[in-house]
Amino acid sequence: MAKHPAARRTSERVEEAARKAGINQTELSRLTDIPYTSLGRKINPDSKYEFNISELVTIAEALNMHPSELIADELTAKTKAA
């Protein structure tokens, strides 16, 4: 089963945010307690593995940002419009 397009974009945002923060996958794994291999699978936009909300919150905290910055726009658009 392929990753949902929004989940794919979320994975790309996580990777980009970590890169901008100067944090590699090894360091992000250490900071979040998400196993390195799991993190790698979920960051890979072509894999079937997706981040859960708890992981995104933990990653956002490690990167000093709000979790909504990691979530694909189409997933947050409805709540912003309400």
The pLDDT of residue 3:
85
C-beta neighbour count of 29 within 10 angstroms: 18
The pLDDT of residue 78:
58
Distance of CA 65 to the CA centre of its chain: 12
Fold for the domain defined by 5-81: 434 Repressor (Amino-terminal Domain) (1.10.260)
The pLDDT of residue 38:
98
What mean pLDDT do residues 61-82 have? 79
19-70 residue pLDDT tens: 999 999 999 999 999 999 999 999 998 899 999 999 999 999 999 999 999 9
The pLDDT of residue 40:
97
